[in-house]
């Protein structure tokens, strides 16, 4: 039997995403909430190499999980994720990109248009 989520920040983020999905009629936020509700071992863990290969300059990316710092990003990307490693945050910002929390990301892109989900 699966244990309940005890991370209060995660619980608040999930409920925030569900509320924004209802109010903005944007299914992308409910998909992100569903991904975050999964067990930790099933959540997205993406390295910068994977992000760099799958994106173009000025891409807007949603990652319902954690961004890890293995690899490099040579172009500007805007990423909204639940967590970032220190190395990932530094490398993204050195490339001219932005690291945003999911709450800030949803406030900036409420409709979710032109936002890609990476898992």
Q: Number of structural domains, the chain?
A: 1
Domain with 70, as residue range(s), is 8-117
CA distance 32 to 34: 5
The reply to whether 16 falls in a domain is yes
pLDDT value, residue 1: 65
- CA separation, residue 84 to residues 3, 74, 95 (Å): 24, 18, 15
Whole-prediction pTM value? 0.93
Task: Catalogue the long-range contacts made by 92-95 (C-beta closer than 8 Å, 24 or more residues apart).
Answer: 92/48, 92/67
CATH of the domain at 67: 3.100.10.10
The reply to whether 2 falls in a domain is no
The reply to whether 31 falls in a domain is yes
From the list 50, 52, 97, the residue with the least C-alpha distance to 73 is 52
The angle at the Cα of 71, spanning 14 to 103, to the nearest 5 degrees, equals 20
The reply to whether 3 falls in a domain is no
pLDDT value, residue 84: 98
pLDDT value, residue 114: 94
CA distance 72 to 88: 9
pLDDT value, residue 62: 98
> Tens digit of pLDDT for each residue in 6-53?
899 999 999 999 999 999 999 999 999 999 999 989 999 999 999 999
The reply to whether 62 falls in a domain is yes
pLDDT value, residue 91: 97
């Amino acid at each position: 039997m699966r244990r309940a989520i005890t991370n209060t920040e995660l619980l608040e983020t999930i409920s925030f995403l569900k509320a924004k999905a209802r109010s903005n009629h944007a299914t992308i936020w409910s998909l992100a909430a569903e991904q975050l509700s999964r067990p930790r071992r099933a959540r997205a863990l993406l390295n910068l190499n994977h992000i760099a290969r799958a994106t173009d300059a000025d891409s807007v990316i949603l990652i319902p999980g954690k961004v890890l710092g293995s690899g490099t990003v040579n172009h500007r990307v805007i990423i909204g994720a639940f967590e970032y490693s220190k190395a990932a945050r530094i490398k993204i910002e050195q490339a001219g990109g932005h690291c945003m929390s999911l709450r800030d990301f949803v406030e900036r892109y409420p409709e979710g248009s032109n936002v890609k989900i990476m898992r």
